[in-house]
Amino acid sequence: MPEWSKAAQVKDGADYHRPLPELGGRAWSTRRQWICRAKARPTYKGKHPKTPQLLLLRPLVRALQRGGLHNELEAVWKTYKIGSLVYKHPSHILHRLVSALTFLARKDEVGVIASELIQVDQPIFDNNSVVLTLASLIEAGFETEAQRLADLQFEKHGVRLDVALESKISQKHTDCLGGVKSYELLLKLEGPHRASLPVQAALILHCYFPIKQTDKMWEAYQLGKGFDGNFDTTVMRYMLYELTAADRIANAEEVLEDYYRIRRDSRNRLEELGDGVFTSLFEMYMRDGRPQKVVDMVRQTVEEGYRIKRSVVNFWGMSVRKAGFRNEAKQIDIAIGERKGRRRLQPWKKQEARALGAAMRGRESS
């Protein structure tokens, strides 16, 4: 053990607050917090002995303790049976109780909870609790009760499953696999979430992309294209990054063509993909030995009026030339020249220049 670690130990309840020169004040403060937790751990173990159930359901125990309930599941169930759901159980821990009872094969008690939820007709706390409670009931085998509860939440309180599911998946602390599991469970229910473009976009950005599930991303993208609306630029950017990394040329070109189509049809200016996306496309084409695809990509940006930094395109041309494709490099230079020529011949620029010149001449004459 290092000397500074030995010096930092607390012996016989003594509290040592002087910062050590090797660590500094901030580091010693962190070390002191660790010591406090270490001292509290035996006390916690003495008050709450470990059992097999509690070891497996430790997140449930912490949630029930935060809700002011007992940590033993039997005591929790007795407390639940004493009073109404409205007064006894915050909805943000209800799904944990349902999951625990399901784990212990006590489905009769889960049925009591489901019946009370429908009878009381209480608004569930937030979107996250709506999704988790419904998913827990479906996993326990109470699909009919979950469907009835979802319908009541929409009819009486305006809770939409598509909005709730999209909000749950988009949370920063959401586990990727947990979000996918909630989505798959809620697909067993009828509702607007089954044909929701925002839900598919959230799955792509927050569930499939972080764990590099390229096939799942592509399935969600194709499914979302069949719904109302269009994916935004952020989704297409992430799709192109993942598809180019996986060398899926045909799929990447389809996404790029969708972007140009939406850009042409959009009344408002669409956000740009960024030079990094086109650099990823360039690297994908060069890995596959297709420099002509790079030429076609540059020409397409010229035709679509999409601006890429001149330095980036020059780097592509030099890289293609160094790879031994001189003809393709020359075509890239020609395409750059065409872009410069098109920039000079834009008619609306000429009209603005003429109007500005006329205004300046009018000021001089006056």
User: Residue 114: its pLDDT value, please?
Assistant: 81
Query: 114 and 101 in contact (C-beta within 8 Å)?
Result: no
| Backbone angle region of 191, left / alpha / beta, with phi > 0 → left and psi within -120 to 50 → alpha | left
Report the alpha-carbon angle 288-293-297, nearest 5: 130
Query: According to the model, what pLDDT value does residue 358 have?
Result: 64
- How far apart are the C-alpha atoms of 171 and 138, rounded to whole Å? 22
If DSSP codes are grouped into helix, strand and coil, which group holds residue 21?
coil
Q: What pLDDT shows up at residue 159?
A: 83
Domain borders along the chain are 1-47, 51-192, 196-273, 274-350
Closest CA to 141 of 178, 98, 180, 173: 98
**What is the CB neighbour count within 10 angstroms for residue 165?**
29
What is the distance between the alpha carbons of residues 2 and 294, in angstroms, rounded to a whole number? Answer: 58
CA distance 298 to 293: 9
Residue 98 is predicted with a pLDDT of 78
- The CA-CA-CA angle for residues 289, 301, 307, to 5°, reads 120
- Measure the CA–CA gap between 170 and 204, rounded to whole angstroms: 10
Identity at 236, one-letter amino acid code: M
Q: Is 247 left (phi over 0), alpha (psi -120 to 50) or beta?
A: left
pTM over 0.75: no
Identify the pLDDT of residue 338.
63
Identify the pLDDT of residue 331. 87
DSSP string, 252-311: HHHHHHHHHHHHHH-SSPPPP--HHHHHHHHHHHHHTT-HHHHHHHHHHHHHHT----HH
CA distances from 223 to 16, 187, 227, 311, 353 (A): 61, 14, 7, 37, 47
Contact yes or no for 273/240 (Cβ under 8 A): yes
- List pLDDT tens digits, range 266-323: 766 778 898 999 999 999 999 999 999 999 999 888 888 888 888 898 899 899 988 8
What is the pLDDT, as a whole number, of residue 346?
Answer: 42
Cα(197)–Cα(227) distance, integer angstroms: 6
Residue 211, judged by CB atoms within 10 A of its CB (0-12, 13-18, 19+), counts as: exposed
Q: Which of 152, 136, 134 minimizes the C-alpha distance to 102? A: 136
Could you report the average pLDDT of every consecutive run of 10 residues in the chain (366 residues)? 42 39 42 44 44 42 45 50 46 70 75 78 73 88 89 84 89 77 91 91 92 92 91 93 94 94 80 91 92 91 87 90 88 75 44 59 60
Q: What are the distances in angstroms from CA 83 to CA 38, 112, 343?
A: 38, 13, 74
